[in-house]
Structure 1
Amino acid sequence: MNRRDCLLRLTATLGAPLGAGLSGCGGGSDDTNTTPPSPPTLVGIVVSPDAATIPVGTTQTFSAVGRYSDGSSTALDKGVTWSSSNTTIATVVAGTGVATAAAVGDVDIIATVGTVTGKARLSVKAPYLQVAAGDAHGVALKADGTLWAWGENRFGQLGDGSLIDRLTPVLIGTAKNWTQVAAGESHTLAIRSDGTLWAWGSNLNGQLGDGTQNDRAVPVKIGTSTNWVAVAAGARHSLGIQKDGTLWAWGRNFEGQLGDGKDADLLVPTKIGTDKDWQLVVAGAYHTIARKTSGRLFVWGSNKFGQLGLDSGGEPVRTPTQLETTTWMAVAAGEQHTLAIRSDGVLFSWGDNASGQLGTPGGSRIFPAAVGESVDWIAVAAGARHSLALQKDGSLWAWGDNSDGQLGDGTLALQRLAPVRIGDAKDWLRIRAGRAATYALRTDGTLWAWGYNHKGQLGLGDLTTRRQPQRIG
């Protein structure tokens, strides 16, 4: 026992019999050698998140927590070295744990302290989030908020400042806050994260909405509103929905496609009616379909082939008119036909059927008719004379005109009169149709295209038509 401990014991036993409590106290030297306990050792590292999925070009920050031999855990802010198992797929800053995705694939992100390691799985997917299809141009939104465009550029519809067709995607400006995009015949509309609306391309009928009829080769801001949440583009007319549920339209109006009850073109966005429950709007070449929060569809514009789904004697309908009382979950408008999925998953079509684009027997239809017997449809797209749809299992189906391979079935068949399955893949996520070209996104973020390619609208670097899906980039 050391001297200090003896003195403490002596103090504690004052008043006790002489010598009580003093056993073990020596004459001035320690007779016990006490070794302090060893500090706990690091036995494991837990990396968070343990699994993450990000698109190419974006980052993910990882953190590490150390587990010690005494059962304790502590965040490891210093002394950790980070590394990647495959720097081709993703790199990581050694001192911070910030990983940057470089290519599609899976990689381990590893944290190391001395000889102890921990790891997490990082899956990198392709960068595409949305795609829009014009007559002969495509526009895509990437996960980093950038916009890319390709194909015909005669009117500046690509927005890169030139009038040169592009065979592969080119970056549009420097903005990284785009959230939505739509493409018309030769014009493009897009919304930024601040709610502003932008437009570029052909403007003969005021479809850009900037108050002029001048074409624009770069994005121009439309008005001062910061409340835009959705846009749609027809051949030469445009529509948008604002946060308060109001519907707006501008551009060509010869067939009543703007819905204001008139036939004069509008050069700036103009509110249609006073309703504030509009939720979705799509545009065909010369007709418009919109859904309210109730799930009801309203139609207006050209009805020459019955594409509005009601009997107007072939005459245009110039104000929004309710289509039956059914509730719908998806709708697409082609050049002169319409597709819609009812809330129970049944697919309907109506309008022009010259190339089998309705997927039903017979000629054009004035009223909606069911396509097949499936109740598993979840998404639709309509081109000039071809149609596409997705089922719940992620499979892709197509029908109608196939003269330019726009169905993607790999055959030389000129048309399909009923839906045919396209390949075996079950990971299709989004579909869009141009005049005779088709675009689709898969769940891994890859972008695919097929069909007519005379202006480079497939984005594959050449002018060769494709009859099967080909990956862009």
Structure 2
Amino acid sequence: MAEAGIYVDSGSISQKVIAVAAGEAHTLALTGDGSVYSWGRGTFGRLGAGSVADRLFPAKIEFNSADTRKRVKIVELSAGAYHSLALSDDGSVWSWGHNTYGQLGVNGENSMVPSLVQVFHELHTPSSITNESITKTATKLQISSIKAGGMMSLAIDNLGSLWMWGNCPPQDTLPEGEFSLIKTFTPIPIWNFHGQTVVKVACGNEHIVALVSYGEKHKGDNLVCYTWGSNNHGQLGLGDTEIRTTPKIVKTFGQDSFYTAYEVACGAFHTCVLTKQKGDMVKSLCWTFGLGDHGQLGQGTIEDSFYPKIVEGIPENEWLISVDCGLFHTSVVSSDGYVWSWGMGNGLGLTESDGVDALTPRLIPCNGLKCPYFQDPIQVACGAAHTVLLANGGYKLWSWGRGRSGVLGNGQVNDFFAPSLVLWPPLEEDFKDHEKVDAEKDSREIIKIKKELNDAMKEIDLLNSKLSTMEHYANILHGLIFGRPLEEDKDVVMSLKKSLNSFDVAKEWENMLEGCDYGKLVHLEMFYGKMLAGVKDKMMKVKIKEMIMECLKTSKSVHH
């Protein structure tokens, strides 16, 4: 439902955003017609725009399919730190941006435009790879969900199997106390969930969290939470800091738990899980664990937490619909449109803010006390130091936090400590609509505006010419009166600044003489002495000339 007083064309699915994603300093938006827009920092080609230039507001990304007859329609997107992923309606995976660790799923350089992850067209699901007879008749692999983390990428296929590539946690046993990520350019399957269905997944810099059915199929509340990878801050929620190379169930969200997890998000070294009471769709809770040095756990302290703990300060009657984690901050949004953030920079993720971290949830109002909530919220997404909220049923985007490189999409590069509107829909879309409706009228207007601009430029050139002439004469006049050329604004006398009508040359001359030292006075005496001598000489010459002319006249009259 649109905000009161604002008209929204519900049929315009090209202008309705259905999902957003945020990377380290870039943002992605997916529209109802399957188009993707990007803005923010362009380094490594993470915007998919064919260059490394920054974008200050949303611009469309082009997906070039081998089949030119078919338009690529994107249904899901995700952003890692410096790379991006997109999933099309036919199950194809597209990637672009940074690829040092193989997070694009190809063994090559960074990609500045979306490229197809070809390997998924050649593989079958993990459960069928070990059986040749099944492999021959197996259904072609189709990816159904994607997720990008720090420097890694994840995907879930149509049978609920999980794949990963990029800078990933190892799957083999490591020497005690050692941990190192494994670089892989080719998606590899996670074998540990055979006979189960992976439903949702998230990843931080070095750890992975997955919501998996404890039966073969996902049915209602039968989800449990698995974690694995680095655990130096307790981000696995297993009660210790030991590394896990294989997935382990977090008991708080296990099969026998009173709670069931339905959303999960990861920061660099912390984890956030949303749960509900089993069989209850009214009450939800937010749990956090892992690194807490900037208050990103929202537990009123900067201590790490090895176990999941409930985040206090969010009203119990609020149903939380979305959660995401930045580098060192966390944000959630409720179905009523209330947004809470906590962590670095007062919950904004900013390192250059007032230095105060929010250790407990801080309400982020839409319009101050006048309107503290956002209408029809859909999703919240966190970058390293910025947050994006999709609201108004998909027709408005709000952003706040670090603004450099245009990551907020509002056309500016400044930090914003309160929500600001993203420039949506894109200006180019508005122009297209106008061209369709009033092409001739717009053309005439453009010609008229160009003519007016041309006339205005001519007038400006004429005024500049006159100004130059006036400045020239002002210099001459100043030199004659005060004995030296005009030196910018400091030589413009006060009485002239106040009013041209009150300018008193005699008074200003007296003021100048009072401010001169002996050397300057001698200089002025010599200057005006020469000038006076010249004037007297000229007067004498004129007087002699007049006397001669008078004599000539007298002589002529006598002769006659």
- Partner Cα distance (2:182, 2:190) in 1: 14
Contact 1:167–1:462, Cα closer than 8 Å, also in 2: yes
Which residue pairs with 1:239 in the alignment? 154
What is the aligned counterpart of 1:384 among 318, 327, 330? 327
Q: Can you list the C-alpha shifts for 1:86-119, whole angstroms capped at 9, x where unaligned?
A: xxxxxxxxxxxxxxxxx96157xxxxxxxxxxxx
1:381 Cα deviation from its structure 2 partner? 1.2
| Among 440, 445, 448, the residue aligned to 2:389 | 440
Alpha-carbon separation, structure 1, partners of 2:347 and 2:332: 18
Q: 1:472 to 1:188 in 2, by over 3 A?
A: same
Q: Does 1:292 align with 2:212?
A: yes
1:304 matched to 2:232? The reply is yes
CA deviations on 1:40-68 (whole Å, 9 max, x unpaired) are xxxxxxxxxxxxx89xxxxxxxxxxxxxx
State the 1:454 CA deviation: 1.8
Q: What is the aligned partner in structure 1 of residue 188 from structure 2?
A: 270
Would the aligned equivalents of 1:303 and 1:315 in 2 still touch at CA under 8 Å?
A: yes
Q: Matched residues in 1 for 2:83 and 2:50: separation?
A: 14
Q: In 1, distance between residues paired with 2:419 and 2:311?
A: 24
Q: CA contact under 8 A between 1:405 and 1:466: conserved in structure 2?
A: no
Q: Which residue of 1 aligns with 2:265?
A: 332
**Following the alignment from structure 1 to structure 2, what is the Cα–Cα distance between the partners of residues 219 and 425?**
36
Residue type of the alignment partner of 2:187: P
The structure in which a higher percent of residues are strand is 1
Q: Which moved more, 1:223-232 or 1:333-342?
A: 223-232
The percent identity for this pair of structures is: 31
Deviations 1:385-430 (CA, angstroms, capped at 9, x unpaired): 11111224221111111269449xxx95722111122111142221
CA distance, structure 2, for counterparts of residue 270 and residue 245 of structure 1: 14
Shift of 1:330: 1.2
Match in the other structure for 1:372: 312
Query: Please, which of 71, 74, 77 is the counterpart of residue 178 of structure 1?
Result: 74
Shift of 1:252: 0.6
| Residues 347, 358 of structure 2: 8 Å contact kept | no
Aligned amino acid, residue 379 of structure 2: R
CA–CA separation in structure 1 for the residues paired with 2:100 and 2:338: 40
Report the CA distance between 1:299 and its aligned residue: 0.5
Cα distance 1:233–1:261, how it changes in 2: closer, same or farther (>3 A)? farther
Change (3 A) 1:122 1:320: closer
Is the 1:382–1:432 Cα contact (8 Å) retained in structure 2?
yes
From the superposition, tell whether residues 259 and 288 of structure 1 become closer, same or farther in structure 2 (CA, over 3 Å). farther
Q: Mapping of 1:147-162 within 5 angstroms? A: 147-162=36-51
Give the drift of 1:462: 2.0
- The 5 Å alignment of 1:135-214 reads 135-174=24-63, 175-210=71-106, 212-214=107-109
- 408, 425, 433: which one pairs with 2:373? 425
Q: What root-mean-square deviation, in Å, do the aligned CA atoms of Structure 1 and Structure 2 show? A: 2.5
- Counterpart in 2 of 1:36? none
CA distance in structure 2 between the aligned counterparts of 1:140 and 1:122, rounded to whole angstroms: 18
Q: How far apart in 2 are the matches of 1:271 and 1:141?
A: 27
**1:454 to 1:105, Cα distance in 2 relative to 1, 3 A:** same
TM-score for the superposition, normalised by structure 2 = 0.59
Distance 1:280 1:166, change over 3 A: same
Distance across 1 between alignment mates of 2:165 and 2:8: 46
* Equivalent residue number for residue 457 of structure 1: 407
Partners of 1:122 and 1:335 lie apart in 2 by 39
* SS of residue paired to 1:384: coil
Asked if structure 1 preserves the Cα contact closer than 8 Å seen for 2:237 and 2:306, the reply is: yes
Structure 1's 106 and 433: CA in aligned 2 closer, same or farther, altered over 3 A? closer
Q: Using a 3 Å threshold, how does the CA distance of structure 1 residues 128 and 392 change in structure 2: closer, same or farther? A: closer
Q: What is residue 127 of structure 2 aligned with on the other side?
A: none
Q: Deviations over 1:169-223 (max 9, x none)?
A: 121105550000000010001100111011111111111112x042111111112
Read off the aligned partner of 2:393 and give its amino acid letter: D
CA distance in structure 1 between the aligned counterparts of 2:226 and 2:158, rounded to whole angstroms: 19
How many pairs are equivalent? 352
- Shift in Å, 1:321: 1.1
Describe the SS at the equivalent of 1:346. Answer: strand
Structure 2 distance, partners of 1:394, 1:245, is 32
Q: Which residue number corresponds to residue 201 of structure 2?
A: 281
Amino acid at match of 2:190: I
How far, CA to CA, are the matches of 1:460 and 1:260 in structure 2? 46
Give the Cα separation in 1 of the matches to 2:103 and 2:228. 17
In structure 1, C-alpha distance between the alignment counterparts of 2:103 and 2:159, rounded to whole Å: 22
Question: Match for 1:218 among 113, 129, 132?
Answer: 113
Secondary structure at the aligned position of 1:469 is classed as strand
Quickly say closer, same or farther: Cα 1:138–1:261, change in 2 above 3 A: farther
Of residues 308, 320, 330, the one that matches 2:247 is: 320
The Cα of 1:370 is off from its aligned counterpart by 0.9
Q: Take 2:410 and 2:338, find their aligned partners in 1: how far apart are those partners?
A: 23
Distance in 1 (CA, whole Å) between partners of 2:11 and 2:50 is 37
Does the aligned pair in 2 maintain the 1:151–1:167 contact within 8 Å? yes
Residue 390 of structure 2 aligns to a residue whose secondary structure is strand
Other structure's SS at 2:336 match: coil
Contact 1:205–1:213 (Cα < 8 Å) also in 2: no
